[in-house]
Amino acid sequence: MTWLSSPSHRQRLVAEAGRLLEFSRAARTPDGFGWLDEGGRVQDGRPTELWITCRMTYSHALGALLGHPGSAELVDHGIAALTGAFRDAEHGGWFTSIGSEGPVEPDKGAYSHAFVVLAAASAAAADRPGGAALLAESLEVSLRHFWDDDAGMVIESWDRTFSTAEPYRGVNAAMHTVEAYLAAADVTGDRAWLDRAVRMTGRVLRMARGNAWRIPEHFDPQWQPLLEYNAENPAHAFRPYGATIGHWLEWSRLTLHARAALLSRGDAVDDGMLDDAVALFDAAVQQGWEVDGTPGFVYTVDWDGAPVVRERMHWVLCEALGAAAALHRVTGDARFDDWYRAWWEYAEEHLIDLEGGSWWHELTPDHAASRTVWAGKPDIYHALQATLIPRLPLTPTLAPALARGLME
């Protein structure tokens, strides 16, 4: 029996999912979901963020499909926020953040709009009122304004009126658009969303393959890499300097989801996708895990593979768990089960906060609470997925899989 399949561990995953969903109930605010502090209280003085509202709506769509008490109502609250205060009725799309008097950041970003699609697809899979209509609208906005068919990637961001695009392109927004389009393909049955996700994945894998698996993150509008971008601000929450270890793991897993979706449709698949997923995983372990002498993944490395920001982010560990579980499912290789067990034990010892709730979002290399990049415990998205990916197939995506009763 593997660690991944052991009944005691499966029971622990069930309990942790319920604990995370219960913690996040306190994030509800009148206009969406707020940023939680380390004690699980909404932080005063912050605007309500679109990405957090979407990720909480998505998380509770999963909770509703799991039968968690109160989650269905919270999905409906999220849909109301996304069809109400966040929605730009004049120009289309959704505001990046809002306050009591309206939009605080009125620009429109591919990153946060990808999460609108993911939240809507998951709400539709959970059969929540308004979910399907929100999904149709969000996909229309994504296709019209963010999808760049010539590049096979997404435009990063626009001003409020969708008339001026930012002269920057980023792989982070593309990565979450892949996640969203895979979910959209499963919920709508429209193969075109899968094809777009596969195009983005293939381009990023080619970038990684040609750069010792250190995925470039930042680009100009012609998709030429900007390797020194944010060198003066290396710990940026969304655009850090260098290569981001957690994204190698996330792309590894997403590649496997895309590959499984193609196989499920009877497509011939180049096993290079699996080889690339393994290579990204191995590079993340070799260059990110315990590389400074203490357990944990560093946040970023430079272009020679040396650590830059050494803080331990909970989301990186969560993505490592998901990638290991996915690779074990595909290959049956025991080393992925071994890594999964080691990382889960690390999470139990250092990241899971049984007293305050949820997971510590950031630790120092010595495993004290840190706030260099992330203050508080903003959302449960990564940790909740880490409790579900080991128990679900690689295709369809999480919410449609739960809706079809595919939980192991």
Tokens (6 digits) for 60: 């509770």
Separation between Cα atoms, residue 140 and residue 137, nearest integer Å:
5
DSSP secondary structure letter of residue 320: H
Tokens (6 digits) for 304: 């020679």
Q: State yes or no: is 382 an active-site residue.
A: yes
Asked whether 307 and 298 are in contact (CB, 8 A), the reply is yes
Residue 327 CA to its chain's centroid (Å) = 18
Residue 182 CA to its chain's centroid (Å) = 13
Tokens (6 digits) for 249: 């793991």
Candidates 60, 113, 145, 382; catalytic one: 382
Computed from CA positions of residues 153, 158, 160, 162, in that sequence, does the dihedral angle turn out positive or negative? negative
Q: CA angle, corner 278, sides to 311 and 9, nearest 5?
A: 70
Separation between Cα atoms, residue 93 and residue 50, nearest integer Å:
11
Candidates 77, 113, 247, 257; catalytic one: 247
Query: Coil, strand, or helix at residue 312?
Result: strand
Q: State yes or no: is 77 an active-site residue.
A: no
Asked whether 317 and 297 are in contact (CB, 8 A), the reply is yes
In what helix (H) or strand (E) does residue 132 lie, and over which residues does it extend?
Answer: helix 131-141
Question: Which residues are the active-site residues?
Answer: 247, 382
